[in-house]
Structure 1
Amino acid sequence: MASTILLQLCLAALALAAPTTSDIHTLSNPGAQGAGGGIVGFIVLVLDIIIWIEVLKSSRPPSHKILWCVLVFLFPIVGAVAYWLLSDRKKWNDQAYEVLP
């Protein structure tokens, strides 16, 4: 049941993301788009990957890890800001290393 609903939502998102006739005109002129979105998008991608690595290496319970990773995946900018502001990073990442004999 849940997988069917998720599949339908994904298909609806793809249908809504398709370019319309007015979008096709702007796509033919790539210079009109500018280069700022690509750089900002790349920075957001790098920050999200850093967050995923930090979450997966932390000592959080698996359910919390999944929740943070899904939140950052679905909402890259809002999820990253929420993670940096709302998660108790010091508590979960403050692990002392054992000294080898």
Structure 2
Amino acid sequence: MLHNIYAFLFLLFTMLASAAPVGDETVTVTDHAVRYGTGGGIAGLIILILDIIVIVEVLQSNRPVPHKLLWILIVVLFPLVGMLIYFFFSNREAHKSSYEPIL
């Protein structure tokens, strides 16, 4: 399990390192930023609310604590993709029966 976490973190940091900007151009915005789609808007708010719902559901599940922390880490690092992976692949019904607090 720990080896898988290390491999995941290595892959994550490799992806982050390769995401460095290619050019050294600077972008200047002369008009309202929301007009160009950089404001976040309704979609960002919806994703934030759904991510909070996922985190609360993970905390209330009967998964072992390391599994809870890993799911929360995935959802926090990759908000949209992590939420979708959780909803489709987490076997939510099997872990719904009881509550194991983290602390």
| TM-score bin (small chain) | 0.5 to 0.7
Q: Which structure has the higher relative contact order (CA within 8 Å, separation 6+)?
A: 2
Whole-angstrom distance in 2 between the partners of 1:45 and 1:80:
10
- Please state how far the C-alpha of 1:29 moved relative to its aligned partner: 1.2
For 2:70 and 2:52, locate their aligned partners in 1 and report how far apart those are by CA, in whole Å: 15
Amino acid of the residue matched to residue 50 of structure 1?
I
Residue 54 (str. 1) matches residue 57 (str. 2): yes
The alignment's TM-score, normalised by the length of structure 1, stands at 0.66
Alignment-derived partner of residue 66 in structure 1: 69
* Consecutive aligned runs of 4 or more in structure 1 exceeding 3 Å deviation: 34-37
AA at the equivalent of 1:69: I
Question: Of Structure 1 and Structure 2, which has the larger fraction of its residues in helix?
Answer: 1
> 1:66-95: per-residue Cα shift (whole Å, max 9, x none)?
000000000001000000000010111134
Alpha-carbon distance in structure 2 between the residues aligned to 1:60 and 1:44: 24
Partners in 1 of 2:52 and 2:74 — Cα distance? 13
1:48-75 Cα offsets, whole Å, 9 max, x none, are 0000000011110001000000000000
Distance in 1 (alpha carbons) for counterparts of 2:76 and 2:37: 25
Gaps of 5+ in 2: 1-12, 99-103
AA aligned to 1:53 is V
Tell me how large the CA RMSD over aligned residues is.
2.8
In structure 2, distance between residues paired with 1:60 and 1:34:
39
Q: CA separation in 2, counterparts of 1:78 and 1:57?
A: 21
Q: Which runs of 5+ in 1 are unaligned?
A: 1-8, 96-101
AA matched with 1:28:
T
Percent pairwise identity: 44
Equivalent residue pairs, number: 81
In the alignment, which of 79, 82, 102 is matched to residue 79 of structure 1? Answer: 82
